[in-house]
Structure formats: structure tokens, C-alpha cells
A and B are shown apart, each in its own frame.
Chain A
């Protein structure tokens, strides 16, 4: 089976700006693939290269095995859900969804049926007669999704589609998008700067920085075994120890990451067990989040670690640690992830 999308050494430069710099990856058919990165990292440019709104300066973009260099957007079997939804304001919701089939020459009765089905799929049945301006942000988002999916594209591109929604709606849509993807079975390529979104929805994700891909992998791989300091910092909370302090704590002067929820926090007098690494420090700040509490601890020797403790639920360490108190931090050897030497800087 051919891959849905292949990038082979693709570059796109705007003057001196290397928006996309020699990027290669394969996306399997039916995969939910996310491109994660800060703004300006090249993820949206990659999406536009797939959609055909932009052409690469060098390298090849392939969709289902065929090179799409020079193929305009209207001749590509991909559809996009735009960040601002881009619904046609002069058409009804129904006409918006029917637009693609109408262009392809599907007879009116048939395309009305297709559009109706899609509006049902995104739970907007009965709203076809409204104008987009009469809908809420969440509803517009669903119309945009229906308008793209009605064409049964080989690949669906989503450009930060949930960015404009409030938190509750965003979480609900994440669950629904994943369910819709399973139902229609098409490849989803999802651009986001929200690591939570990327981790929770994707089969695999690529982390972008400065026009390059830092790491590609499953959410577990990216979170537990970051390959670069950037990935360790951008995905989850950055907890990196390097150089002398790593030597003192873990016995090697290289760089390792330890996730904040894997650190135990003990009174300084309580000795750590044998197989644990341990270090002492001072609590610098404490943030209460309800389900958990987050501490910033300055280690003796300069570096800082973040610790997240779950609240309630049979904690073995019931003690509260106020800012200023001295604590002992401890974690299992197996929880430590050493970054590859060349990427550690």
C-alpha cells in the first residue's frame, strides 16, 4: 500500500527565511498525523504545500504515490479545514457543504443528500438553511469539517481548526474529530501548536522547529523518549539536567530528562531507597491546580526542576511543602531518559 503523503527533502524559502528546510516524512494511509510546533516553525507551510497553495523550492511532495509538483489546489484530492473556517458568507450552510460536489458536477438531488448526511455526521442536521453568520464558532467549525469531508478526500488537512474555540468545546471536539476520523477512515493531517491536542489525538506526530522536524513518533515516544532538548521542552514540561549536576545526581555528565509527575517529593531527612536517584533543593514556588499541585524546586547547585503531585488519593507523602522549605526529590533510574549526545545542546 502506498503512503498517503510523502515529503522527500522538501524546502520552501521566503527570501532568507527557511520556512521549511529539507523536510522528509511519510504519512501512512488512514493515519491521524499531527504537525506540532511553535508559530513560524514551518508546520502550516507544510500543510499548504500538501494542499497546493504553495509550491516547494526543492524536493518532492507526493500524494498517494504521484508527484504533485505544479498541480494546482483544485486538481488535488485533498481538502482543508481552514483556521478561520473560510465559509462562504453569501451561501447557506447547505450550499457551503454542497459546493465541492456542485463543482464536480454531482446532480442537485444527490449532492443535497450527501450534504445532508455530512451535516448529520457533524451533528448539524436541520441547520442547513441558516447563513454561516447565524451560527456559533463551534457550529461554523463543524460546517467547515462537513464541507471538506463531503468530498471524501484522500487526505484531510486541518489547520489549527480548534484554535478559536473555548477550552470545553475544544476538548469535546477533540473527541469527536477522532471519532469522525475512525468513522470515515481517511488520513487526517492536523496542524497545531497545542501539545495536549497533538498527544491526545494523533497516531503519530512530528515536532517542528525552525523549519525542520525535530522528531517524529507516536505520542508515547515523543513524550517519554524525546530525542532533542527542544522536544523535551516543547512537549510537556521541560525538566532537563545537564553537565556537572547530571554527573552528581546520575553519574554521567550528559543531558537527561525526567517528567515532572515521575518525581517523588520527600522531606529532606527521609533517605531515598537504594534504586532511586535523589537530590535536595528548595521549593521556589507552588501552584495549586485542583487535581494536582505544581512545584518549582531550585536544586542545590543551581538547576531547577518542576514537580507535579496529584492531590488526594492515598498519597504516601501527605506533607505539604510550602515555598522556602527544603525537600528531597527522588525518582527511579528507569524513569530517566538520556538525550542522544549530539542533540543534547
Chain B
């Protein structure tokens, strides 16, 4: 009897049952992540969004569960808009600087480095991610402080005047690097840089060498080949990296809390509203801002063709 060749052990019967019903297998595999994303993540996000349409009673300090746009009207006050603008400009500046710094490194890693050098560079880029984020931010506070190594070296090199001049810049300057927006910017740039490097390396590695040869073969100098072939094909990598750096900067509240001025960023505003002030609707409304900005950003990137080469 042929059926006798089919093993009757439980494991085998399971394998056979699943092999014959691929949809069941798919269901079993996808249910846990879908439940997690659907309920724990999207559910809480929707609950949060719902909160933003409630408002807080100024006298009792209690949340009134009535649908209203009053909280959003308050969100658009001048003080709040300044917070949103400051955070967005910082996020944009960090993203641009990260792309400019990451690209040459990523290019070298993807196209020039030997396997060993590449492994070392990967390690170098990833290593900071293995240690605590807080430790690294505090380390930067020491580096950037008035008594820190940067000020010290600048004075030893006779460049104290240059640092003074930089710190004297209106708006972004301050009494020391660790108490200025320049300092916040530098730390953001450092912390998020790996998230820009890795997607660009991945994108550049996917450009076939024959395309670069073909461009040269058709008469393009290396510069033209870079501009016409390599750069356009790596734009999806830059876009992916910028999504990380931009959204991470928009939402972060620890770095500006430790390094920088007392002017709050969006993350700090959310923290203050839901914690100390107990104004959950306002905190929720503030949370919607980065989501809206990211949606706008992705839409713009798509319109500009950032993902066409995918």
C-alpha cells in the first residue's frame, strides 16, 4: 500500500498537512505580527489620534470626551508653531548634513573597499548602536561642554576666537556648544548617521558595475557617470536614509533635553503636555504633527521621483 510510505509520526503529519494547505501556514505565520501591528501598534496610535480630538477643561484640568477641533486650534498658536518650525528645521538640517557626510563613506564602502576593509567599516558604523544611547549623549555633553575637549583644543590651537565667533552666531549660538542649537545638531547628526549610511551602501551595492562601464563606453566622463547614473540610482537609498534621520529627529526628546537650549522640540512638548501638564489631548495633537510632516515628506519624495529607480 502506497500510503504506508507516508510516515505516521506527528511531526510528519503536521508537515504534510501544512504543505497541502499553504494558506493555513501563511495564516499561522502572519497572525502574530498582524495582531501585534494591528492592535498594539496601530490600535494605540488610533486611540492617541482620537484623544487629540478631545479637549481639556481649563478649570477642572480634566479631559472632556467630546469631539472638537479646539485642541488643534490651540496647537496652531504662535508658541507651538515655533516649536514645530524649530524641530522641522533641525530635522531637515540633520538630514541634509547626514546625507552629505554619509554618501562618500557609503560610496567607498559599496564600490571601492576590499571585503576586509568593508567589514571593518560596517563594524565602525554599527558599533555605536551597540552601546547605550544615553551614555553616548552624555559623553557628547562632556565633549561639547565649556570645559570639554573641543573648547580646550580650540584654545590650545589658538582657535578660541573661531569657536567664540561660531557661538556668537545669532539664533543657533549660545554660551557653549553644549548649550546651543549647534550642539544639539552635532549630537543628532552623530546619533542618526548610521541610519543614513546603511541604506545608501545598500543602494550603491545594487548598481551593477556594467552600468558604470556602459556609461563610460558611451563617452561619459567619471563625473558625468556619477551625476547621470550612480547618483540617480542611489536616490532611493538616500530617501530611505532621510526617512530615518528626519523622523527620528522629529520625534526625539532626549537629545534636546540634555544638549542645547531651553527652547523645546516637539518630543519635549509631547512629554511636557502628557506628563507634567496632564494635557493628553494636546500631547496627542503634537504627536500628529510628525506623522503629518512625514506623510507630506513621503508624498513629496514620491512626486519628485525619489523611488522611481526602485
A, B co-complexed: yes
Interface residue ranges, A against B (CB under 8 Å): 51-53, 72-74, 78-80, 82-84, 86-90, 99-100, 103-104, 147-148, 151
Task: Give Cα A151–Cα B22 distance, bound, in whole angstroms.
Answer: 53
Which one of B210, B221, B228, B233 contacts A74 once the chains associate, using CB atoms below 8 Å?
A: B221
Task: Give Cα A90–Cα B203 distance, bound, in whole angstroms.
Answer: 13
Contact B216–A103 (Cβ < 8 Å): no
Q: Is B56 interfacial (CB-CB < 8 Å)?
A: no
Most buried by A among B214, B233, B308: B214
Task: Give Cα A103–Cα B224 distance, bound, in whole angstroms.
Answer: 8
Which one of A52, A72, A86, A90 contacts B214 once the chains associate, using CB atoms below 8 Å?
A: A86
Which one of B220, B221, B309 contacts A89 once the chains associate, using CB atoms below 8 Å?
A: B309
Q: Tell me which residues across on chain A come within 8 A of B213, comparing CB atoms.
A: 51, 53, 73, 80, 82, 86
Task: Give Cα A74–Cα B214 distance, bound, in whole angstroms.
Answer: 10
Task: Give Cα A76–Cα B208 distance, bound, in whole angstroms.
Answer: 22
Q: Tell me which residues across on chain B come within 8 A of A104, comparing CB atoms.
A: 219
B238 to chain A, nearest CB (A): 14
Q: Is B258 interfacial (CB-CB < 8 Å)?
A: no
Tell me the residues in window 207-249 of chain B with beta carbons closer than 8 Å to chain A beta carbons. Answer: 208, 210-211, 213-221, 224, 228-229, 232-233
14 contacts between A and B (CB under 8 A): A51-B213, A53-B216, A73-B216, A74-B217, A74-B221, A79-B218, A80-B213, A80-B217, A82-B210, A88-B229, A89-B233, A90-B309, A100-B219, A103-B220
> In the complex, given contacts A100-B219, A103-B219, what are 9 additional A-B residue pairs having Cβ atoms less than 8 angstroms apart?
A74-B216, A78-B217, A79-B217, A80-B214, A86-B208, A86-B211, A86-B213, A89-B309, A103-B218
The chain B residue sitting closest to A144, CB to CB, is: B214
Q: Tell me which residues across on chain A come within 8 A of B224, comparing CB atoms.
A: 103
Q: Tell me which residues across on chain B come within 8 A of A80, comparing CB atoms.
A: 213-214, 217
Contact B233–A147 (Cβ < 8 Å): no
Q: Tell me which residues across on chain A come within 8 A of B309, comparing CB atoms.
A: 89-90
Tell me the residues in window 22-75 of chain B with beta carbons closer than 8 Å to chain A beta carbons. Answer: none
Task: Give Cα A72–Cα B224 distance, bound, in whole angstroms.
Answer: 14
Contact A84–B210 (Cβ < 8 Å): yes
Contact A74–B219 (Cβ < 8 Å): yes
Task: Give Cα A73–Cα B216 distance, bound, in whole angstroms.
Answer: 6
The chain A residue sitting closest to B235, CB to CB, is: A90
Interface residue ranges, B against A (CB under 8 Å): 208, 210-211, 213-221, 224, 228-229, 232-233, 308-309
Chief secondary structure at chain B's binding surface: helix
The chain A residue sitting closest to B216, CB to CB, is: A73
The chain B residue sitting closest to A80, CB to CB, is: B217
A189 to chain B, nearest CB (A): 13
B74 to chain A, nearest CB (A): 46
Q: Tell me which residues across on chain A come within 8 A of B228, comparing CB atoms.
A: 99
Task: Give Cα A151–Cα B213 distance, bound, in whole angstroms.
Answer: 16
Q: Tell me which residues across on chain B come within 8 A of A72, comparing CB atoms.
A: 216
B219 to chain A, nearest CB (A): 4
Q: Tell me which residues across on chain B come within 8 A of A88, comparing CB atoms.
A: 211, 214-215, 229
Contact A99–B210 (Cβ < 8 Å): no
The chain B residue sitting closest to A75, CB to CB, is: B219
A84 to chain B, nearest CB (A): 6
In the complex, the 3 A-B pairs of residues with the closest C-beta atoms, listed nearest first? A86-B214, A86-B210, A100-B218
B218 to chain A, nearest CB (A): 4
Contact B218–A99 (Cβ < 8 Å): yes
B260 to chain A, nearest CB (A): 40
The chain B residue sitting closest to A53, CB to CB, is: B213
Contact B220–A51 (Cβ < 8 Å): no
Task: Give Cα A74–Cα B222 distance, bound, in whole angstroms.
Answer: 9
Which one of B208, B217, B233 contacts A73 once the chains associate, using CB atoms below 8 Å?
A: B217
B206 to chain A, nearest CB (A): 10
Q: Tell me which residues across on chain B come within 8 A of A89, comparing CB atoms.
A: 233, 309
Q: Tell me which residues across on chain B come within 8 A of A84, comparing CB atoms.
A: 208, 210
Contact A99–B215 (Cβ < 8 Å): yes
Q: Tell me which residues across on chain A come within 8 A of B211, comparing CB atoms.
A: 86, 88
